Amino acid sequence: MKRDGSHVSRKSGFSRREFVKAGAAVTTLGAAGSTLSLPSAPLATAAGAEIRLGMASYTFRNFTRAQLIEFLEKLGLADLNTKDTKDHLPMDATAEIAALADYVSAGIKLHAAGTIYFEKDEDADIRAKFEYSRRAGIGVIVAGDPAPGTLPRIEKLVKEYDIKIAIHNHGPEDKLWPSPLDVLKAVKGMDSRIGCCIDVGHTVRTGTDVVEAIREVGPRLFNMHMKDLANFSDNDSQVAVGKGKMPVKKIFEALASVKYKGFVDLEYEISENDPMPGVIESLAYMRGVLAGMGD
């Protein structure tokens, strides 16, 4: 699949001028050597909103925390959505505290935890996950597949801990939450701190318009997982962001229109043993889109 100007404009709503900017950014990153220039400060858009890019630690699930930190330092990226995979952020309190010390030392800020699965409708089990997030100073839990019947119990702890719950949709295979719109229906009328983590790849596979979903979810959108697909009906068609059909610019415009305050976390799930080339290209592309919107 060629990544030329006409392709990107047709697939992603990205102009040729903006594409050239992104291409230049990729070239700069490739030439940068061991330290890449990708500051994690908020990025202004034409709508006056600020879009912040982060990383889902699941991208580096086959690598240790020390390696993850090294990758983030090379990327110049300081904002992380982490989880209990490898030793990234263990659920055990003592091990978690050691991990937090490593992140603080490296200047890495944790803004979300997850995906965390709520498999038991029990106070003790659910509370342990809130305690895990509170110890880390994390304000958003990305929740995987909580049963609808557990939501009142979760809501009680949301109020107690003042930590947001962002239910992650997992596409057509997910019998509970295939689309963010399914989440939105279930949480209407509940505490305003219970909402969505929109995974754009899983969303489009349900046939849901991801741009309209962002607008509908609006203030209940607390986290975003960004990826790209070459085929919206095939989960195995993931590619680097900008090489597929995802309407990246329109997604950012929709986020700006709803005044989204969270992070857009790259979740690059392919090439799990060598993700950095795709991660670099994806981040450069997204920054190129945002740079073009800010003109």
Distances, alpha carbon 141 to alpha carbons 18, 21, 131, 132, in Å: 34, 34, 11, 10
pLDDT of residue 10: 35
pTM, 2 dp: 0.86
225 three-class SS: strand
Query: Is residue 34's pLDDT more than 90?
Result: no
pLDDT of 61 reads 97
> What residues make up the domain containing 94?
46-279
pLDDT tens column, 243-258: 999 999 999 999 999 9
Q: Is residue 40 part of a domain?
A: no
pLDDT band of residue 5 (cuts 50, 70, 90) is very low
The rounded mean pLDDT for the chain is 87
Query: What per-residue confidence (pLDDT) applies to 50?
Result: 84
Reported in sequence order, the residue ranges of 45-152 that DSSP labels E, i.e. its strands, are 50-56, 79-82, 109-117, 140-144
Residues 6+ apart with CB under 8 A from 240: 228, 268, 277, 278, 281, 282, 285
Q: Strands, E, within the chain: which ranges?
A: 43-44, 50-56, 79-82, 109-117, 140-144, 164-168, 194-199, 221-226, 228-229, 238-239, 263-266
Whether residue 20 has pLDDT greater than 50: no
Provide the pLDDT for residue 49: 74
Classify residue 169 by its DSSP letter. P
Confirm whether 242 is domain-assigned.
yes
The pLDDT assigned to 9 comes to 35
Residue 270: inside a domain, yes or no? yes
- Is the per-residue pLDDT at 175 higher than 50? yes
Tell me, yes or no, whether 2 lies in a domain. Answer: no
Percent of the chain whose pLDDT exceeds 70: 83
For residue 141, the cross-strand partners are 113, 165
pLDDT in tens, 50-90: 899 999 999 999 999 999 999 999 998 999 999 999 999 99
Express each pLDDT in 35-46 by its tens digit.
444 445 567 666
Answer whether residue 191 is part of any domain: yes
d(CA 163, CA 221): 14
Q: Structurally, how many domains does the chain consist of?
A: 1
Q: Is position 50 within any domain?
A: yes
**Residue 78 within any structural domain of the chain:** yes
Answer whether residue 28 is part of any domain.
no
CATH number of the domain at 255, please. Answer: 3.20.20.150
Cα separation, 230 vs 205, whole angstroms: 11
Number of alpha helices (DSSP H) and beta strands (DSSP E) in the chain: 11, 11
